[in-house]
Amino acid sequence: MDDRKRQINEAEQRKKEQAALLDALLARIGEAVFERAGVSLDAPAFGELAAYRRFRNDIADSQDSIQAAEEQMRRFKELEEGIETREKEAALCAKDLAGAHGRLGKLLLEESGRHGSGSAYDDFCGPYRGQADELLSKVQSLEERLAGLEQKEKGNVFAWIGKSAQSLVLRSFLGKAQESLEQLRRTVGERFSGRGSGSLFPETAAVDSLCGEIELKQAEMSALAADTANLKDEKRKISESFSAEGGPVRYIQTLKNHIAHVQNELRLLYRGVGAEAALADVPALDAEADADASAAAGTKGRAGTRGRAKAKAAPETGRPGIIASLLLPEDRENLEAARRMNRSILDCGIVIEKLKASIAVDDEKAKIEKYRRMIQEKREKIAQAERAILELEGFVRDSEAAIEKLRQLL
């Protein structure tokens, strides 16, 4: 029993493996048939050709869509990197521009103070002159106080704590004053560099140089801003298209799943036509084989074989003839292999059925033996019961006889 079950398992495994090989082989045969038919054939009897073309176009379109989506993803990443790079460049440029404005404002205020009321910059710097002098004096005063505080001896711990606290307060005031002074200088520089073309100043070489540097930085800032805006607009459009499709990763996975489904349908189509070609008689290929075989048999044999070949190669009409016309002599090896595999699979199926039938017969025989034993056991129990009944009937008769004797005494 165990050996037969082992044989069944081995036969089923062989059948499964050969079925997989046969499916692959039939799919290759069918694919070859469709590739030859797809160029020029357009026969109503070969209706699968339209489905074949539709599946192939569907796969090609889906692959193009995946490639386009992946290209968009790459472009989206490039845009993010480009925007980040330009924003960093813009931040550095803004920092440099602020520094140039500050230097220009400082230079203008110094030039205005140096030349007095007759300076060409005096009118422009006049509104800021008093605030600048006040902040500059405040900064200088705080710096002197801080320097004097640092020169004091430390003394005891309480003096050191008091000195540290005063130093901290002075540094805070000094930082705020310096920041206010620098902001004022930047404001002066920004307004001077942004003056209208009608306001002319006899600019010095230093002022002229700084104004030229500021113009370059402003032009660079404008170019970076325009470039960043264009990149963000392109990124927004790509992001909107991704949102409409449920996200690029999900969209690509959906397309891949669709391609897998269509490829499976296409394999089934290949296999169906391949099975028709492999499991049906193909006279044209048989004629080719007979003609090749007759080549070694001499002229007479060759002539006779060719005559038979022509008779065999008579063209068929309808679907079988169309499939036969699409097969080539080099397909013969695959066709014969497919037929052998199919016969082998059928043989495995027969062997499996026989082994299963043999096991089933033995199972039924075992049941029969079991039932016979049960019948025998029941019969033995029946015999025992009958003997017990006879014994009890004897007891009944004895009791009845005793009763009769006792009645005579009454």
Block means of pLDDT (10 residues each) for the chain, 410 residues, are 84 92 90 78 69 91 92 91 93 90 83 59 73 81 80 64 78 86 84 62 72 87 93 89 77 92 93 83 50 46 41 53 81 88 91 92 94 95 94 93 87
Check if the beta carbon of residue 166 is closer than 8 Å to that of residue 81: no
Residue among 34, 33, 191 at smallest CA distance from 109: 191
Domain range for 130 is: 72-244
Is 401 among the domain residues? no
Distances in whole angstroms, Cα of residue 122 to Cα of each of 114, 126, 192:
10, 5, 12
The confidence score (pLDDT) of residue 155 equals 59
Is 233 among the domain residues? yes
The confidence score (pLDDT) of residue 122 equals 67
The confidence score (pLDDT) of residue 157 equals 62
DSSP letter string over 281-305?
A: --HHHHHHHHHHHHTTSHHHHHHHH
The confidence score (pLDDT) of residue 165 equals 81
Is 139 among the domain residues? yes
Is 368 among the domain residues? no
- The token duo for 309 is 């070949």
In angstroms, the first-to-last Cα distance of the chain is 77
pTM equals: 0.57
Number of domains making up the chain = 1
Burial of 75 per CB tally in 10 Å (0-12, 13-18, 19+): middle
The confidence score (pLDDT) of residue 300 equals 41
- Output b/e per residue, 35-71; b: 16+ Cβ within 10 A: eebeeeeeeeebebbeebeebeebbeebeebbeebee
- Output b/e per residue, 305-328; b: 16+ Cβ within 10 A: beeebeebbeebeebbbbbbbbbe
- The token duo for 132 is 């600048």
The confidence score (pLDDT) of residue 312 equals 40
Is the dihedral angle over the CA atoms 44, 47, 49, 50 positive or is it negative? positive
Is 90 among the domain residues? yes
Is 323 among the domain residues? no
Is 153 among the domain residues? yes
Is 81 among the domain residues? yes
